[in-house]
Amino acid sequence: MDEAKSAGGLTLPRRRLLLGAGAGLVAAPFVLRSSLAFALGKADPFTLGVASGDPAPDGFVLWTRLAPDPLAPDGSGGLAGAIPVDWEIAEDEAMARVVSRGTAQADDRFAHSVHVEAGGLKPGRPYWYRFTALGARSPVGRAMTAPAPGAPLDRLRFCFASCSNWEVGYFSAYRHMAEEQPDLVLFLGDYIYEYSHGAGQDVVRRHDRPGEIKDLAGYRNRYALHRTDPDLQALHAAAPCLMTWDDHEVQNDYANRWSEDMDVPPADFLVRRAAAYRAFYEHMPLRRRSLPNGPDMRVYDRLRFGDLVEFSLLDGRQYRTIQPCAAPHSRKGHVADPACAERTDPSRTMLGFEQERWLHDGFKASTARWNVIAQDLLITSYAQKDPKTGMVGHWTDGWDGYPATRTRMLNAVAESKVSNPVFLGGDIHSFWTTDLKADFDQQDSATVATEFVGTSITSDGPSYDLFVQTLPLNPHVKFFDSRQRGYVGVEVTPGRMETRFQAISDRRDPHATVSTLKRWVVETGKPGAVPA
Ligand code: FE
Ligand code: CA
């Protein structure tokens, strides 16, 4: 996407949004927007910013949600009835050369969100967009189209992120991602957390609604709260995104139709899942094919960027078998006893057999130079200690709870000879670089793919001291650090992939700085990262 670079990036909207970041938190978007509505004394409907997603060669999805009262307790955003929302797409950031425009309807059904599937655009270049509704104008966002299928692409720059717990820190990592002006941003889960900290717990800011959210109004409120954050607004305005989810978009450690609480019947849990998935759809730049149908919603997807990169975006939660060897009365992840035979049962699945087949077929069909599998969890096998008993075993809620799916997936990688497979993940609130092995029990086994996991934007990391004790048992793990918060920056060229582990100075500081903790290189044709 070199053309994008030469086009100069995002100056006007970025300046506005970043000024907002410096000027204070929730109030900034209201103060800085010199909209007509504001002049008329009406509340600004664009309090949640704008976003774009799912770039294709001819277009992308544009998103906004009208919410003059973003945290209204009923989740309505302070609006009722159908409201027309005009959108326009321009070739320049000043919005002078408009190339496409239209009108979408926002209504109560989807909380006055709009999802515009723009088409008919030129491949491989940036565009700028904005919305107008209720006499007000939104900030300008920057989107990109993907290059034409198979077209030569010299470079793709993207960032990936996971685990942004509102209460324990400010979103400085998101601000620094926005400042990189990447071509694409991947959100790999735990974009929100459904629970809240208790009154006595040490937090930097509180959720608007205390306690655990369980209904549609609650999930809407939680997403809206996050989107009032100027750093997150700046990131969504700066680049298109791909989205998947992990557990906290619904409930900690849920699996398919099973709550972590064994006393909740699956039928009841599916009512909650339907509310959570619907609110996710309403707040993300997703295509119509992701429209929720009750408790079901498709998020796994595949995107291509010219001849250079193919992304397979996975859903690790919706279709999985129940976790193995649950320890009543909770299905919460735990270190399973090595005697747990259920864990390795090949009839169990992490992705669901349909998604597994779709993924393996994709490996066979791909012609891209780099094949990135973006998903929610740590992939590698990791023998770890139970913090209470000291027993060494494997964690049940992640890929280690579903090793048969992992073996099938890595076998499919090896058999298909898919070019340069790289797996990305989150969830574990720590940085990891690993060699994904054909057989994790044989250390001379071939490395079939490379893995990078990013730390949390803000969420608490796991115990560093506990995890380093078991590193010697896991020689395929090349790097682990749980002591920083941040994100990962990636630059892909035909010959190599360069990865930066980016750490922020202090999650409690709304103006935290960023530095590079570690750099990695993957050379084409050689699975496994090496320090840069
Ligand atoms: Fe998390
Ligand atoms: Ca998680």
Q: How far is the CA of 162 from the centre of ligand 2 (A)?
A: 9
Question: With bands split at pLDDT 50, 70 and 90, how would you rate the model's confidence at 40?
Answer: low
Question: With bands split at pLDDT 50, 70 and 90, how would you rate the model's confidence at 328?
Answer: confident
Q: Express as a percent the part of the chain with pLDDT over 90.
A: 90
pLDDT digits (tens, 9 = 90+) for 62-100: 999 999 999 999 999 999 999 999 999 999 999 999 999
pLDDT digits (tens, 9 = 90+) for 190-237: 999 999 999 889 899 999 998 999 999 999 999 999 999 999 999 999
Is the pLDDT confidence value at 33 over 70? no
Q: Residue 373 is encoded by which pair of tokens? A: 């599998």
- Which residues lie near ion ligand 1 (Cβ < 5 Å)? 163, 190, 459
> Would you say 112 and 83 are in contact if contact means Cβ atoms under 8 Å apart?
yes
Is the pLDDT confidence value at 24 over 60? no
Q: Residue 281 is encoded by which pair of tokens? A: 């759809």
Query: Please, what is the angle between helix 353-365 and helix 403-416, to 10°?
Result: 20
Is the pLDDT confidence value at 5 over 70? no
CA distance 483 to 512: 15
Which residue type occupies 134? Answer: L
Residue with tokens 């003059």: 68
Q: How far is CA 150 from CA 217, 366, 368, 493, in A?
A: 44, 11, 8, 15
Q: Residue 521 is encoded by which pair of tokens? A: 């290189």
CA distance 320 to 397: 10
> Would you say 131 and 137 are in contact if contact means Cβ atoms under 8 Å apart?
yes
Q: How far is the CA of 173 from the centre of ligand 2 (A)?
A: 18
- For 500, phi and psi rounded to 5 degrees? -115, 130
Q: Is 181 helix (H, G, I), strand (E, B) or coil?
A: coil
Residues 173, 175, 176, CA angle at the centre, nearest 5°? 65
Q: How far is the CA of 153 from the centre of ligand 2 (A)?
A: 34
Q: How far is the CA of 188 from the centre of ligand 2 (A)?
A: 10
Q: Residue 182 is encoded by which pair of tokens? A: 């990447």
Q: How far is CA 290 from CA 39, 278, 354, in A?
A: 37, 10, 17
Residue with tokens 């509340």: 43
Span 401-408, average pLDDT: 98
Of residues 88, 92, 70, the one with CA closest to residue 79 = 70
Q: What's the whole-model pTM score?
A: 0.93
Q: How far is the CA of 459 from the centre of ligand 1 (A)?
A: 6
Q: What is the pLDDT of residue 330?
A: 85
pLDDT digits (tens, 9 = 90+) for 252-304: 999 999 999 999 999 999 999 999 999 999 999 999 999 999 999 999 999 99
